Amino acid sequence: AQSVDQPDAHVTLSEGASLELRCSYSYSAAPYLFWYVQYPGQSLQFLLKYITGDTVVKGTKGFEAEFRKSNSSFNLKKSPAHWSDSAKYFCALEGTGNTGKLIFGLGTTLQVQP
């Protein structure tokens, strides 16, 4: 079965700190992994993706993520965090068949305090 787990429903930190949002996945084949962000009242926006190659991928808004096959993780990172990063972040796995269909985690709500 394919699934994505984001174990932290909420993360709060101070502006200037480093942020790391956790994501783990379950998938028998080579995964295609994505991070999306949703600001209040807005639609989901693409941040970055891992398809193959370099295990550290850089995305928009200064974010990066590291793919670790050893523990099936794809954590999102940024340093330093800014108050404008406050939003809900979703990790996603592209499902079987290379269709573009995404399986999402439940999301992590990030609050960055000024």
Partner 1 sequence: NAGVIQTPRHKVTGKGQEATLWCEPISGHSAVFWYRQTIVQGLEFLTYFRNQAPIDDSGMPKERFSAQMPNQSHSTLKIQSTQPQDSAVYLCASSLEPNTEVFFGKGTRLTVV
32 forms part of the interface with partner 1 (CB under 8 A): yes
- Tokens standing for residue 17: 């700190």
Nearer to partner 1, 15 or 22 (CB): 22
CB proximity list for 86: less than 8 A, separation 6 or greater: 110, 111, 112
* Binding flag, residue 45, partner 1 (CB under 8 A): yes
Q: Where do we find the tokens 């996945």?
A: 25
Does residue 107 belong to the site contacting partner 1 (CB under 8 A)? yes
Establish if 44 lies at the interface with partner 1 (CB under 8 A). yes
Compute the half-sphere exposure of residue 14: CA atoms within 13 Å on the CB side of its CA: 1
Nearest approach, Cβ of residue 49 and partner 1 (Å): 7
Q: Does residue 31 interact with partner 1 by CB under 8 A?
A: no
**Cβ neighbours of residue 16 under 8 Å, at least 6 residues apart?**
80, 81
User: For the window 56-95, what string marks contact with partner 1 as x by the rule CB under 8 A?
Assistant: ----------------------------------x---xx
Q: In whole angstroms, what is the distance from residue 112 CA to residue 110 CA?
A: 6
For partner 1, the binding residues (CB under 8 A) are 32, 34, 36, 42-46, 49, 51, 90, 94-95, 97-107
